[in-house]
Structure 1
């Protein structure tokens, strides 16, 4: 990893951070819809 140019290392780090953020944001975004749908079906 240390033999890569600095710009490539920065891009890899940003891409990795973005994928982690997206992995958290998608369930958090869908959770209210899933809960609302489950609530509607139970009533």
Structure 2
């Protein structure tokens, strides 16, 4: 079943679709960058 991407509730069963907070997405990206940064330093050291 397809529902519109901007729907707040399911048109079939009435389930309220939870929305992800933008601050959570920002924190996840920040932590991913913090984990990748040391790997880039190691790769730079290995390749030089």
Q: TM-score, normalised by structure 1?
A: 0.55
Unaligned runs of 5+ in 2: 1-19
Q: How high is the TM-score relative to the length of structure 2? A: 0.51
User: Separation in 1 of the partners of 2:41 and 2:27?
Assistant: 21
CA distance in 2 between counterparts of 1:24 and 1:16 reads: 13
Tell me: higher relative CO, structure 1 or 2? Use CA pairs within 8 A at least 6 residues apart.
Answer: 1
Structure 1 residue runs of 4+, over 3 Å off?
A: none
Count of aligned pairs between the two proteins: 29
1:1-43 counterparts in 2 under 5 A? 6-33=21-48
RMSD in angstroms over aligned alpha carbons?
1.6
User: Which consecutive residues of structure 1, in runs of 5 or more, have no partner in the other structure?
Assistant: 34-43
